[in-house]
Amino acid sequence: MRLSFRLLLSSLGLCAGIAPLVPALADPAPVIAVNREIGLSMTGTFRNSVEGFNSRTAESGGFGRYAFTEATASSSRYRTIGWTPGFQVDASAMFNAFGIENLYGALRFSLEDGQRNYKSRHRGYSSTSGSYEYSAGGNDTSNGTDNRGEIGKGFLLLSDTFLLTPFIQGGYITSGGDGDFGYGSGRYFAGAGLKADYALSSRLVLRGRFGWAEVLNSGISYTHQPRPLWEGGLGMDYRMTRRLHLTAGGDYSYISYGRNRDSGYGNDWESTFSYSSTSSALSNGLKLHAGLAWQF
């Protein structure tokens, strides 16, 4: 957590350093103005994380009256679902430099902390003892942080009322319990995306974004391979005064950890055995946010 707050302080300091480089325009286009802000929002995040695991084993051996054969199978399901409160800090700048117009940079820190409902169910079967089943549930701690940065370039269209900004992104997510994107205590990610800002009026700007990233060392898979993270969002920015803006919106995220398979067999001097297993997991969520931003 200390690392996250250090990153937040560094981020705000960087944006403060960038601000003097932004050209002093009396009335920037609304779609440019919304990309020159530092904002604070309250958030509520709904997360649904699901994991499944199936396995089968077979063993035989012995001889004569001591010969035996045993088969087992099991199936486990885990789900964490619910809302957690939190907050989010955003800082972005759009400026001209090196003869290039509308260069874009942004930093974000968000935190969620609360409880979600945890459910688990396990079923099993053994050829020697029959079938069995048990389940558990209750509230479980769930928290996480999202630390990210974006760099891109904006392109003004439709008489400066529409701004398209492709960008590259990267960052680090942490989690406890089911966490921000599913499983594991901390993961780096990197990817790209596209932002769109459209000015309905001089005060109201509608905002949208779509992003993709690879989550490195995804944790749940046997091979720890990177897994894709998909994101999309819609929002609005309303200028109440020349500097003070009201912001609100929602962001959706989805990550699938894929289906992992493992199998094998072996034998020793008195028995042979084989096994196979599959596992899968996914996490999706919706983050709603509303707050205030200061245009610089």
pLDDT in the model for residue 114: 92
**Closest to 157 measured CA to CA, from 108, 96, 102, 112:** 102
| 256-269 pLDDT per residue, tens | 877 788 888 888 77
For residues 188-209, average pLDDT = 97
Amino acid at 100: I
Considering its fold, how many domains does the chain have in total? 1
- Between residues 94 and 141, the one the model is more confident about: 94
Is 21's pLDDT higher than 60?
Answer: no
pLDDT in the model for residue 175: 78
8 Å CB contact between 267 and 5: no
| 278-292 pLDDT per residue, tens | 888 888 999 999 999
* Dist CA 58 CA 240 (whole Å): 69
Domain enclosing residue 236, as ranges: 2-295
Q: Find the angle CA(179)-CA(181)-CA(184) to the nearest 5 degrees.
A: 60
Average pLDDT, the chain: 85
Looking at the chain, the whole-number percentage of residues with pLDDT higher than 70 is 85
pLDDT in the model for residue 60: 86
What do you get for the CA distance between the two ends of the chain, in Å? 29
Which pLDDT band, with edges at 50, 70 and 90, does 7 fall under? very low
| 200-215 pLDDT per residue, tens | 999 999 999 999 999 8
Structure tokens at 290: 């509303």
Per DSSP, 36 falls in state S
* Dist CA 70 CA 83 (whole Å): 44
Which pLDDT band, with edges at 50, 70 and 90, does 27 fall under? confident
Is 178's pLDDT higher than 60?
Answer: no
Which pLDDT band, with edges at 50, 70 and 90, does 10 fall under? low
Give whichever of 22-31, 112-121, 178-187 has the largest mean pLDDT.
Answer: 112-121
* Dist CA 146 CA 209 (whole Å): 17
- The dihedral through the CA atoms of 209, 214, 217, 223 has a sign that is positive
Is 221's pLDDT higher than 60?
Answer: no
Per DSSP, 62 falls in state -
In this prediction the pTM is 0.80
For residues 45-62, average pLDDT = 89
pLDDT-wise least confident of 3-12, 115-124, 220-229, 253-262? 3-12
pLDDT in the model for residue 140: 83
